[in-house]
């Protein structure tokens, strides 16, 4: 049985986006070519991998298994390419770290920056994922370390705390909500919202909990960073849900109000995690030691 790396890369892109159209765009393939490649995979394997729906696709059990294995293979290929290329640049090792949106934007940059300065022969491959996806990737061997919400971690994962990620509602300072200290998320689901681009882990997290309430948020704008979101809120475009650390930083220079969200999903303890810290490659162990010191 032979697998084409382009096919595997395409299948992961289709699985992650839930759409052959969007997956083809991510893989830089024409839609007709992508569709033919997926059908070719199914024919070669003798099983259905996707179920085609009116709005995108969903994976079969076989498709989910192929996605997990394909992710591991693509990670190993990327690691191989990186390690070989590193001999030209002088870098000799790399660590693959998955992090949720808050970790990537608010908590990790300073610690990772100091790590890279201390270890010039190690490079970092940092990828944004939702906490549940981080768990799956680490369990499947597709990443060394994760930075995720602790409630999503299985018991057998090793971890250590790296702070608390409180999500807060940000509203214009003169809005009807600005005098509130706390609020239930259901109270604001009929408001106009400003959010992150829909491919970010935090956007998926918020949309998922809105769906559990039976609502679809009305997004007036989607942007790539919390500062831009808070500026839109300050301009009166809508309200937003952002990490408290980012909101407090923005509130120093913008006319916005911060309101605590009572819902449990808005208060998350964050942790660095792995299947086993002891069994990590040496570069990853060095990063773990550095991050432990960063939280003391």
pLDDT tens across 201-247, in order?
788 889 989 999 999 999 999 998 899 999 999 999 999 999 998 99
Q: How many CB atoms lie within 10 A of CB 174?
A: 9
Which pLDDT belongs to residue 85?
A: 63
Rg (CA), the chain: 21
Q: Are residues 25 and 139 in the same domain?
A: no
Point out the least confidently predicted range of 47-51, 87-91, 160-164, 202-206: 87-91
Q: Are residues 170 and 262 in the same domain?
A: yes
Q: Are residues 172 and 239 in the same domain?
A: yes
Q: Are residues 282 and 255 in the same domain?
A: no
Domain boundary at 48, 68, 88, which? 68
Which pTM value belongs to this model?
0.61
Residue 50: give its domain's CATH number: 1.10.10.10
Which pLDDT belongs to residue 143?
A: 84
Q: Are residues 217 and 286 in the same domain?
A: no
* Token representation of residue 210: 């809105």
Query: Rounded to an integer, what distance in angstroms lies between the CA atom of residue 90 and that of residue 97?
Result: 21
* Token representation of residue 103: 């970790």
User: What is the rounded average pLDDT of the residues 74-82?
Assistant: 72
Residue 74: give its domain's CATH number: 3.40.190.10
Give residue-wise pLDDT tens across range 174-200.
899 988 999 999 999 999 999 998 777
CA 109 distance to own-chain centroid: 15
What is the phi/psi pair of residue 128, to 5°? -85, 130
Which pLDDT belongs to residue 41?
A: 92
Q: Are residues 183 and 92 in the same domain?
A: no
Q: Are residues 262 and 169 in the same domain?
A: yes
Q: Are residues 131 and 90 in the same domain?
A: yes
Q: Are residues 143 and 275 in the same domain?
A: yes
Instruction: Work out how many domains the chain is built from and give that number.
Output: 3
Q: Are residues 62 and 75 in the same domain?
A: no
CA 95 distance to own-chain centroid: 17
Q: What percent of the chain has pLDDT over 70?
A: 95
Residue 199: give its domain's CATH number: 3.40.190.290
Give residue-wise pLDDT tens across range 85-110.
655 555 567 888 999 888 888 889 99
Domain boundary at 68, 100, 123, which? 68
> Dihedral through CA 236, CA 239, CA 241, CA 245, nearest 10?
40
> Would you say 270 and 163 are in contact if contact means Cβ atoms under 8 Å apart?
yes
Q: Are residues 159 and 274 in the same domain?
A: yes
Q: Are residues 52 and 86 in the same domain?
A: no
Domain that holds residue 37: 5-68
């Amino acid at each position: 049985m032979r697998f084409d790396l382009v096919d595997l890369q395409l299948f992961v892109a289709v699985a992650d986006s839930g759409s052959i159209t969007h997956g083809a765009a991510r893989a830089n393939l024409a839609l007709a070519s992508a569709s033919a490649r997926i059908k070719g995979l199914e024919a070669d394997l003798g099983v259905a991998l996707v179920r085609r729906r009116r709005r995108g696709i969903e994976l079969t059990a076989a498709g989910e298994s192929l996605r997990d294995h394909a992710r591991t293979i693509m990670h190993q290929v990327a690691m191989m390419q990186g390690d070989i290329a590193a001999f030209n640049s002088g870098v000799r090792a790399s660590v693959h770290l998955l992090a949720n949106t808050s970790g990537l934007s608010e908590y990790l940059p300073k610690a990772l920056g100091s790590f890279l300065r201390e270890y010039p022969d190690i490079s970092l491959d940092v990828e944004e994922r939702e906490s549940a996806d981080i768990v799956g990737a680490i369990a499947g061997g597709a990443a060394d370390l994760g930075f995720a919400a602790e409630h999503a971690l299985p018991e057998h994962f090793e971890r250590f705390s790296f702070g608390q990620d409180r999500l807060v509602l940000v509203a214009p300072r003169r809005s009807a909500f600005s005098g509130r200290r706390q609020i239930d998320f259901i109270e604001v689901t009929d408001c106009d919202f400003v959010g992150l681009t829909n491919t970010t882990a935090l956007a998926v997290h918020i949309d998922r909990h809105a769906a559990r309430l039976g609502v679809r948020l009305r997004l007036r704008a989607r942007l790539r960073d919390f500062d831009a979101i808070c500026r839109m809120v300050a301009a009166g475009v809508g309200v937003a849900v952002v990490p408290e650390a980012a909101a407090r930083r923005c509130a120093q220079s913008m006319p916005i109000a911060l309101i605590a969200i009572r819902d449990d999903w808005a208060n998350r303890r964050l942790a660095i995690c792995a299947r086993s810290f002891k069994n990590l490659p040496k570069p990853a162990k060095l990063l773990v030691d550095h991050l432990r010191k960063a939280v003391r």
